[in-house]
A and B are shown apart, each in its own frame.
Chain A
Amino acid sequence: MEILAMFGVMLLLIAIGLPIGYAIASSTIFTFVVFSSTSLRIVSQNAFTGIDSFVLMAIPFFILAGILMSAGGVARRLVDIADAFIGWITGGLGMASILTATFFGAISGSGAATTSAVGSLMLPEMKRKKYGDEFSATLIASAGSIGVIIPPSIPFVVYGVTVGVSIGDLFLAGIPAGISMCVALMVACYLISKKKGYRGSDTKPSIKNIAHTLKDGIWALFAPVIILGGIYSGIFTPTESAVVAVVYSLIIGTFVYKELTLVKLKESFYTAAVLNGVIVFIIGFSGAMAKYLALENVPQRVSQGILSLTDNPILILLIINVFLMVVGMLIDNIPAIIILSPIFLPVVQSVGVTPLQFGVIMVLNLAIGYVTPPYGTTLFVASAISKISVDRLSRYAIIFTLVLCVPLALVTYWPWFTNGFVALFK
């Protein structure tokens, strides 16, 4: 009863346009006042303790690194490389966008930053080549969601902190999932382009051109090696690696590509500060909501409820996937991870799913949620860049959501994609 009231109030407030973080705070306050005598101090306390974490500091750094790489000319060079490889094929501009998003995702930890970097470069180009506007914008939004599956990833950091799984392992497990998203979207892009007659770029396939773009972009390609290599070799913690990525992108942008000016730098830092601001506090308030649920033993009750319906692992995972998909339509991934992972983890563990695998399942579901209206983070960004309203993007959003269900199914039902892959490195 009180749980329904809490989520009902939250969804109502989100629907009328209250920012997600404050909708969570309001509904948590409402529930504590009406159904419990626990002091509201717990909400303000969590607003501090929930974010007082060294690991979470990776968030602003991964955001900043992505912004600096965009501003410093790294994103453009990644586009050139992708274009040289596959730009000339049917639907090549779309496929180059997907490939760029995958590369850029290996630097940026955020889906929105990835969408914004790739979209601002590729959308005008696709328009010039007469790709459908709705198709292009939705494709970029879907490709941007790869940014949180290919490591580094802010949602993986949040999940790792919430559940207590190694963030390095989560990052590793994101690689096969991210690559399969990339492949699935490329195939879909090719088929749709073929049907619609979307052509490739003017780039002629040539070894010389590929070699030239690779040479120019070598510093961009080297960034993921530093970030991921640093984490896996044990040189850096994830937070430290994020800072090293910032310093690296500062050096590349300023001294190698010489595109970062002091004005751009100030703007980049301020943009990162505000982006961090509108994300991170949500972790604190979501923590307060999660505390309420823990105090009410909700995780145990949900777990018993689901297990009393069925003990078939395939069915249980299907139910949870459908539920998470609906959640992804409505709210942001960070609160969803903090509030829901303690609820579902016991259930999936009882059918043999590891916390690591569930992390990838959950984050992938919520990444698909980036593209699904009404609340779709990367969809909003793509809509803003392309100046096309969100509701006009819905048709292709449905198509790409279905396409992304293929990698989701692989990750859900084939542990090789997560546990197996990570075990290869042990």
Chain B
Amino acid sequence: GCGGGGQQQAAAGGGGTDAGSSAGADAETYTIRFAHIENEFTAAAQGCQLFKKHVEELSNGRIVVDILGAGALGGEREIVESVTMANIEAGMAMSSLFSTYLPNWEIFDLPFVFKDRDDWAAKVDGELGQMLAAETASINMKVLSYFDGGFRSISNTKRPVASMADLSGLKVRVGESTLLINTQQALGSNPIPMSFGEIYTALQQGTIDGVDTSIIYVIDGNFQEVAEYCTETNHSALQMVTFINQDFYNSLPADLQEAVDTAAAKATVEQRVAAVEADLMAIEVMEEAGMQVDQASAAFSAEMIEAAKPVVDGYRDKIDASVFEAAGL
């Protein structure tokens, strides 16, 4: 039983590194080792399963996708590095992982770039998404899908956040990124960078009052057990990206490349439907746990957009003007 997996991988890895071996390409099978850090129930993790299903079907089993989820292969940064270095073939991570390589990718985390899900989908499927995807060739990667990770909201233990005044001084956890820190500072809160795993206890003990993440990840971290209020501020997109090693992709026969592309496209459409459903489910779970979930009012949103403008403008010299334009800024 042990040998099978190893040999299959040997074949696939061979495809990745010495691409010349495809003389008898038709008979060859490939394994895509696909890593991510999410729990099974998130829409993004479901999207990876959908990709697996479609690829295996469309390739008539000539491609096997081996999903290594829940962080079995390490954190997101490690996954991105492992795919660029061809240690594994594919993976999923937040867009911000790419901005350390490609500054233009910071556009996703800028505040209020996308008005709503439709606006977001139009932009990532349009010129913006294509421009950014084209850049990843320089790091030996090919973007497969832009998955929907929801929009960032603010959940907290203190008070309903309905105005700028409510945000003021709130100790809000943010992901470890300067841009996210700057955004919260502009909104008037007191940002505290912290890794996801420490949030629950920090909320419980009052090290932080709130957390900046999208609602599916609120229930992923069980924050509904400790937080009381959530406001869907939608201040930035939590962009999930799936990607494959470019050399490995190039080594696939043309029909299998097509199978991968088609599978990714199908998984993208279905994942976005799943993301909307997952959000509804998440809100239900949060409300059942006694959390109050609110939408930001139009007036409040307008105030936040105004307050966050300097952050956006601060990135005009870091991100290409053409990307800003494609994002509608």
**A complexed with B:** yes
Q: Are A45 and B10 in contact (CB-based, < 8 A)?
A: no
Q: Which residue of the partner chain A has the closest CB to B2? A: A1
Q: Are B85 and A36 in contact (CB-based, < 8 A)?
A: no
- Residues from chain B with a CB closer than 8 A to the CB of A165 are 197
- A160 to B197: give the CA distance in the assembly, Å: 9
With A49-B78, A291-B73 as known contacts, state yes or no: A35 contacts B85, CB within 8 Å: no
CB proximity of B110 to chain A, nearest CB, Å: 26
A-B contact count (CB 8 A): 86
Any A CB within 8 A of the CB of B100:
no
Q: Which residue of the partner chain A has the closest CB to B204? A: A426
- Residues from chain B with a CB closer than 8 A to the CB of A54 are 195
- Residues from chain B with a CB closer than 8 A to the CB of A287 are 74
Binds B, one of A67-75, A151-159, A230-238: A230-238
- A342 to B81: give the CA distance in the assembly, Å: 22
Q: How large is the interface on A (under 10, 10 to 19, 20 to 34, 35 or more residues)?
A: 35 or more
* A-facing residues in B178-210 (Cβ within 8 Å): 195, 197-198, 200-202, 204-207
Q: Are A237 and B10 in contact (CB-based, < 8 A)?
A: no
Q: Are A2 and B2 in contact (CB-based, < 8 A)?
A: yes
List 18 interface pairs A-B (beta carbons < 8 Å), by A numbering.
Answer: A1-B2, A2-B2, A36-B13, A37-B10, A39-B17, A39-B87, A42-B82, A45-B78, A55-B195, A168-B205, A234-B201, A291-B74, A294-B68, A295-B9, A295-B33, A295-B68, A295-B73, A342-B72
CB proximity of A341 to chain B, nearest CB, Å: 12
* A-facing residues in B59-98 (Cβ within 8 Å): 66, 68, 71-75, 77-78, 81-82, 85-88
Among all A-B residue pairs, the 3 with the closest Cβ atoms: A234-B205, A37-B13, A234-B207
CB proximity of B25 to chain A, nearest CB, Å: 17
Q: Which residue of the partner chain A has the closest CB to B16? A: A37
Q: How large is the interface on B (under 10, 10 to 19, 20 to 34, 35 or more residues)?
A: 35 or more
- A358 to B231: give the CA distance in the assembly, Å: 36
Q: Are A36 and B9 in contact (CB-based, < 8 A)?
A: yes
B interface, CB within 8 angstroms of A? 1-3, 5-6, 9-10, 13-14, 16-17, 33, 66, 68, 71-75, 77-78, 81-82, 85-88, 195, 197-198, 200-202, 204-207
- Residues from chain A with a CB closer than 8 A to the CB of B86 are 39
CB proximity of A33 to chain B, nearest CB, Å: 12
- Residues from chain B with a CB closer than 8 A to the CB of A35 are 6, 10
CB proximity of B10 to chain A, nearest CB, Å: 5
Any B CB within 8 A of the CB of A164:
yes
Q: Which residue of the partner chain B has the closest CB to A164? A: B197
Q: Which residue of the partner chain A has the closest CB to B9? A: A36
- A260 to B249: give the CA distance in the assembly, Å: 62
Chain B binding surface, main DSSP class: helix
Q: Are A37 and B17 in contact (CB-based, < 8 A)?
A: yes
CB proximity of B207 to chain A, nearest CB, Å: 4
A interface, CB within 8 angstroms of B? 1-3, 35-39, 41-42, 45-46, 49, 54-55, 160, 164-166, 168-169, 232-235, 237, 287, 291, 294-297, 299, 301, 342, 426
- A168 to B78: give the CA distance in the assembly, Å: 25
Q: Are B78 and A299 in contact (CB-based, < 8 A)?
A: no
With A49-B74, A164-B71, A164-B197 as known contacts, state yes or no: A36 contacts B10, CB within 8 Å: yes
Which one of B1, B6, B73 lies within 8 Å of A36 (CB-CB)?
B6
Q: Which residue of the partner chain B has the closest CB to A31? A: B6
Which one of B6, B33, B85, B200 lies within 8 Å of A166 (CB-CB)?
B200
Which one of B1, B66, B85, B202 lies within 8 Å of A234 (CB-CB)?
B202
Q: Are B2 and A45 in contact (CB-based, < 8 A)?
A: no
- Residues from chain B with a CB closer than 8 A to the CB of A295 are 9, 33, 68, 73, 88
- A41 to B16: give the CA distance in the assembly, Å: 15
Which one of A169, A235, A294, A301 lies within 8 Å of B72 (CB-CB)?
A294
- A46 to B77: give the CA distance in the assembly, Å: 12
Q: Are A37 and B78 in contact (CB-based, < 8 A)?
A: no
Q: Are B87 and A41 in contact (CB-based, < 8 A)?
A: yes
Q: Which residue of the partner chain A has the closest CB to B196? A: A164
Q: Are B5 and A45 in contact (CB-based, < 8 A)?
A: no
- Residues from chain A with a CB closer than 8 A to the CB of B9 are 36-38, 295
- A35 to B7: give the CA distance in the assembly, Å: 8
Q: Are A42 and B87 in contact (CB-based, < 8 A)?
A: yes
CB proximity of A255 to chain B, nearest CB, Å: 30
- Residues from chain A with a CB closer than 8 A to the CB of B206 are 234
- A42 to B77: give the CA distance in the assembly, Å: 14
